[in-house]
Amino acid sequence: MPKASVLLIDDDDTIRYFLPRDLEAEGYQVLSAATGAAGLRVLEQEAVDLVLLDIRLPDRDGVDVLQKIREQWPDQIVVMLTGEPDHETAVRAMRLGARDYLTKGKPIRDELLLVLERELSSQRLGREVQHHRQQKSQRVKTEFIRGESPAMQAVFGMVEQVAKSESTSVLIEGESGSGKELIAHLIHDLSARRDRALLELNCAAIPRELLESELFGHEKGAFTDARQQKQGLLELANGGTLFLDEVGEMSLTIQVKLLRVLERMTFKRVGGTKDISVSVRIISATNQHLESMVRAGTFREDLFYRLKVVPIRVPPLRERREDILPIARHFLEQFNRAFSKSFTTIAPEAEQVLLHYPWPGNIRELRNLFERIVLLNQGTVLQAEHLTAAIAPAPRGPGGESPLQTLEAILASGQFPEQGIDLESTLGTVEREIIQRAFDWTRGNQSRAAQVLQMKRDKLRYRMKLYGFHESPTTAE
C-alpha cells in the first residue's frame, strides 16, 4: 500500500519522468498531468493527498489553477514548483493557500521528500483530530443527560449563554468525576466554533517539562529530542476550542505564556522567534481551589481572572440527588445495549441504595459501577444485591457520623466515643476512599495511581480486589 498519492502538474517532460520515479521509489503513488486543465480533470476523478503544481503551465497560470483547486477542494494540500524564484508570485500563491514553494533549478529530491513527509504528517494528524473530535462529540450526545435538579438547570442555562460568545474564557470548577469535561464539550458544540476542533490537554497527566511543548509546540533543535518542528495544541486548535483540564497543575513559567495568549492571542513555539497568531477559545477546568493557590503564590492572580471571565461550578452528585436515578437509568440503558444484556429496570431497593450512597467519585464512579454490574451480571431487574457488594454504605456511629468523621474527631480531641470504634472498618473505609480519590486524580490510570500512593502496582491491585474495585478503572465524564 503506498504511503500517499501525489498529483504532479508540470509541462516539463524531464520533471514528469524523473520526479515520479524518485517518489515511487520512496513508496508514493504518483499521477501526472502536463497542463492545468488535465490536472483539474484528474482531481475530478481521483482523490489525492497532495498536489505538486508548476507555476508556469502552457494553458494557464499555475496560480490560477491553485485558485481553482482551492475553490473546488478547499482542504487539498498544494505545493508549488517553479523554475525561477519569484518572490511576488510566491507570496501570491501562499496567500491563496499553497503550503510551500520549491525551486526546480536545483536538486529538490531531498527537500521535496521532507516537505511531503511534513505536510502529509500534518494532514494525517488533522484527520485523526477530526475523527477524535467526532467520536468525542458522539460520546457527549450518548452520555449527556440534563438532569432534573435546579443546580444543574442553572449550569446548563449558563452553558447556553456563554456558548453564544465565540471567545469568552470559561473556568469550570468541580470535584473529580463531576462532569467538567462534558460541560466543556457542550459549550463548544453549542457555539459558532462547533465545526472546528476541540482539543484537550490534561495538565496533570503530562510531565511539566513536556507540557510547554504540548501546548505551544517547538522548533527543530529547540531541545535534545526536538528532531523536527512540532505544532502545539494552541496552533492545532486555531479557530476552535482548547480545553485545559486541571489547569492548576501548570508551572508559573507556563502560566506567564498562557496569560500572553489570552491577552494577545499570540505565542512563540519553544525555541522559536516568530509570533504565531491564533483564534482560540480557552476553557479550563480544575478540582482545586485556585483562589487559595493565588493567595499561596502558586497560581498567578492575573491569569486566574483571565481564565475566570465566566465561572461555572459543577455541583457534586451528592448535592443533586434528584439526578442520581435518571443518570443511573441512562447508564443502565447504555451498557445494556453495549453488552447485549436484558436489564430493563432498577428495583426500588436498589434505587434506595443508589440514593443513600455519598458518591465520592461522582458521575465517573456511577458510570464505572454500572458498566461493571451490567457486564458481570444477568437478569432483567437490577437488584440491591448487585450494588451492595461494590458500594455498601460505610457503617455509621450512633449519631450518624461516618468512620471518617469519627476518626477526625478522635484525632482532633484525643477522646474516644463511649462505644469505641471498629478500627479495621474505619481504616478500611479511609483506605478505600483514598484509593478512589487516587483513581479520580489520575483519571483511572493504575500506574499513576500507584505512583501517587507510593506503592507497587501489584500491591495496589491487591487492595483493588480487596475493596471491590474494577481491575481496569475506566474514565467517565
pLDDT digits (tens, 9 = 90+) for 86-107: 677 777 777 777 888 887 766 6
> Which residue, 393, 452, 402, 399, is CA-closest to 422?
402
Q: What local confidence, expressed as pLDDT, does residue 142 receive?
A: 46
In angstroms, rounded to a whole number, what is the distance separating the alpha carbons of residues 218 and 138?
32
| Burial (CB count <10 Å: 0-12, 13-18, 19+), residue 309 | middle
This model's pTM is above 0.75: no
Does this chain's domain 144-315 share its CATH topology with 319-466?
no
Alpha helices per DSSP H over 144-219: 150-162, 180-190, 208-216
- pLDDT at residue 135 above 80? no
Task: Give the pLDDT band of residue 139 (cuts 50, 70, 90).
Answer: low
In angstroms, rounded to a whole number, what is the distance separating the alpha carbons of residues 246 and 168?
19
Q: Give the pairing type, strands 230-231 and 217-218.
A: antiparallel
Q: What local confidence, expressed as pLDDT, does residue 473 receive?
A: 43
Name residue 313's beta-bridge partners: 173
Task: Give the pLDDT band of residue 400 (cuts 50, 70, 90).
Answer: low
Q: What local confidence, expressed as pLDDT, does residue 128 receive?
A: 60
Q: What local confidence, expressed as pLDDT, does residue 137 receive?
A: 55
In angstroms, rounded to a whole number, what is the distance separating the alpha carbons of residues 265 and 253?
17
pLDDT digits (tens, 9 = 90+) for 190-227: 999 988 889 999 888 787 778 888 999 888 877 777 77
More confident residue, 123 or 337: 337
Q: What local confidence, expressed as pLDDT, does residue 475 receive?
A: 40
- pLDDT at residue 79 above 60? yes
Range in 5-19, 391-405, 406-420, 430-444 the model is least confident about: 391-405
Q: How crowded is residue 217: how many other Cβ atoms within 10 Å of its Cβ?
A: 24
pLDDT digits (tens, 9 = 90+) for 18-42: 889 888 888 889 999 999 999 999 9
In angstroms, rounded to a whole number, what is the distance separating the alpha carbons of residues 449 and 463?
12
pLDDT digits (tens, 9 = 90+) for 237-284: 999 999 999 999 899 999 999 999 999 999 998 888 888 999 999 999
CATH of 319-466, one of 1.10.3720.10, 3.90.226.10, 1.10.8.60, 1.10.10.10: 1.10.8.60
5-122 in CATH: which number? 3.40.50.2300
Domain residue extents for the chain: 5-122, 144-315, 319-466
Name residue 78's beta-bridge partners: 51
At 184, phi and psi to the nearest 5?
Answer: -60, -40
Q: Which three cell numbers stand for residue 111?
A: 527537500
At 97, phi and psi to the nearest 5?
Answer: 110, 10
Q: What local confidence, expressed as pLDDT, does residue 474 receive?
A: 41
> Which residue, 322, 310, 226, 213, is CA-closest to 269?
213
- 144-315 folds as Rossmann fold (3.40.50)
Q: What local confidence, expressed as pLDDT, does residue 172 receive?
A: 96
3 state SS of 79: strand
CB crowding 26-50: b at 16 or more within 10 Å, else e: eebbbbbbbbbeebbebbeeeebbb
Query: DSSP character for 228?
Result: S
